[in-house]
Amino acid sequence: MSTGPVRLRAGTDLPTRTYRVTRLDLVRYAGASGDFNAIHWSDRAATGVGLPGVIAHGMYTMGLAARAVTSWTGDPGGVLEYGVRFTRPVPVPDTDDGTEVVVAGTVKPAERDGCVLLALTVTCHGDRVLAQARAVVRAG
Amino acid sequence: MPLDHSYVGRDYPVPEPYLVSREKIREFAEAIGATDAAYVDRDAARALGYPDVIAPPTFAITVIGLGAQLMISDESLGLNFGRVVHGDQRFEYTRPIAAGDQLTCVVYIDEITSRGGHDFLTYRGEVRTTAGEPVVTGRTRLVIRGDQ
């Protein structure tokens, strides 16, 4: 499947991107972002607040979905608006394989001139982890 | 205890400018696994019309987070961070953040509501250059779970 930029015409279904997420990725994201909340690296901390175990940073999942967006558009600076609602945590087991986040997208018309809206569907094991996930991007 | 709604309108300016480096952008891009050339290759960024390498869209949270941290550690506001869940996040970009930018950030509390024993706090992070040019606005909704 192509991983390069796509022609952004309303009605197009974008090629789905699948990203593997391991504990190492969360540790790396914690360092890069400065978000050291222990629920993202310590099972003890996560279960202590009622979670099943370590979960991904919401902003990490949002970052992965943005990674899909820029892979489709080819110009990361052409993202003009981007928003999500965090609906469900992404548990990341302490295994070599971790888990997978899948990002699908559809191109829709945008209200802004020269732009399109990318409506994203972001899932983990079939569950939607982000809702109302949308980016308004320059159509190029 | 519910949050004090009179904190709406309160602002938290980050005291020092944030200097955006190529290395920090590269680190952030690698952390989300992004391989876009514009994040690491100055020529590729210039070919797209940017002065230097640019940052991934969600990099803005690392700058806004500095202001949010001031709000979270404001003891008089009394946010119990152990009970906080990130509800919504939005960004509106005037232009991408680029290496070499000197950025200021002010976080404003826009809304506090209470419903069903939970508090909801919406804040806005305004990121500008030190010259006052707008760069990106972030809007964050936090859910503060009540005692069950």
Classify burial at A65, counting beta carbons within 10 Å of its beta carbon; exposed 0-12, middle 13-18, buried 19 or more: buried
Q: Does B41 touch chain A (CB under 8 A)?
A: no
The reported pLDDT for the residue numbered B104 is 98
Architecture of domain B5-20+59-144: Roll (3.10)
Q: What is the CA radius of gyration of chain A?
A: 16
B147 pLDDT above the threshold of 80: no
With CB atoms and an 8 Å threshold, state whether A19 touches B30: no
Query: Are A35 and B65 contacting, i.e. CB atoms less than 8 angstroms apart?
Result: yes
B1 pLDDT above the threshold of 70: no
Query: Are A86 and A69 contacting, i.e. CB atoms less than 8 angstroms apart?
Result: no
Shortest Cα–Cα distance, A77 to chain B (Å): 5
Find the range with the poorest average confidence among A56-70, B49-63, B78-92, B127-141: B78-92
E strand or H helix at B24 = helix B22-31
Shortest Cα–Cα distance, B59 to chain A (Å): 8
Quick one: tokens of B96?
A: 């991408």
Please provide the average confidence, as pLDDT, over all residues in chain B: 95
Fold of A13-138: Thiol Ester Dehydrase; Chain A (3.10.129)
B121 pLDDT above the threshold of 90: yes
Cα separation, B87 vs A82, in Å, equals 15
The reported pLDDT for the residue numbered B114 is 93
Query: Are B58 and A84 contacting, i.e. CB atoms less than 8 angstroms apart?
Result: no
The reported pLDDT for the residue numbered A49 is 86
Cα separation, A104 vs A122, in Å, equals 6
Quick one: tokens of A50?
A: 């009622």
Closest partner CB to B36 (pick from A49, A63, A70): A70
**CA proximity to B72, closest of B64, B83, B80:** B80
With CB atoms and an 8 Å threshold, state whether B95 touches A77: yes
Cα separation, A84 vs A120, in Å, equals 9
Closest partner CB to A63 (pick from B58, B88, B93): B58
Three-state DSSP state, B40: coil
Give the position of tokens 């732009």: A115
DSSP 8-state code for residue A11: T
B148 pLDDT above the threshold of 80: no
Question: For a pLDDT cut of 90, what percent of chain A falls above it?
Answer: 90
The reported pLDDT for the residue numbered A2 is 63
Find the range with the poorest average confidence among A21-30, A50-59, B75-84, B128-137: B75-84
With CB atoms and an 8 Å threshold, state whether B87 touches A25: no
Q: Quick one: average pLDDT of B119-141?
A: 98
Shortest Cα–Cα distance, B25 to chain A (Å): 9
Q: Is B146 left (phi over 0), alpha (psi -120 to 50) or beta?
A: beta
Please provide the average confidence, as pLDDT, over all residues in chain A: 95
Three-state DSSP state, A115: strand
Q: Does B48 touch chain A (CB under 8 A)?
A: yes
Whole-prediction pTM value? Answer: 0.96
With CB atoms and an 8 Å threshold, state whether B31 touches A31: yes
Beta strands B18-19; A115-124: pairing state: unpaired
Q: Residue A134 phi/psi, 5° resolution? A: -145, 145
The reported pLDDT for the residue numbered A65 is 98
DSSP 8-state code for residue B54: B
Q: Does B62 touch chain A (CB under 8 A)?
A: yes
Closest partner CB to A83 (pick from B54, B56, B89): B89
Give the model confidence (pLDDT) of B50-109 as tens digits. Answer: 999 999 999 999 999 999 999 999 999 988 877 888 999 999 999 999 999 999 999 999
Q: Quick one: average pLDDT of A62-70?
A: 98
Three-state DSSP state, B113: strand
Q: Does A55 touch chain B (CB under 8 A)?
A: no
The percent of chain B in helix, strand and coil, each rounded to the nearest 5, is 30, 35, 35
The residue count of chain B comes to 148
Residue numbers in A near B92 (CB within 8 A): 80-81
A53 pLDDT above the threshold of 60: yes
The reported pLDDT for the residue numbered B13 is 98
Give the model confidence (pLDDT) of A37-48 as tens digits. Answer: 999 999 999 999
Q: Does A80 touch chain B (CB under 8 A)?
A: yes
Using the Cα atoms of residue A20, residue A21, residue A23 and residue A27 in order, give the sign of their dihedral: positive
- Most A CBs within 10 A among B70, B83, B91, hence the mutation to make, goes to B91
Cα separation, A44 vs A42, in Å, equals 5
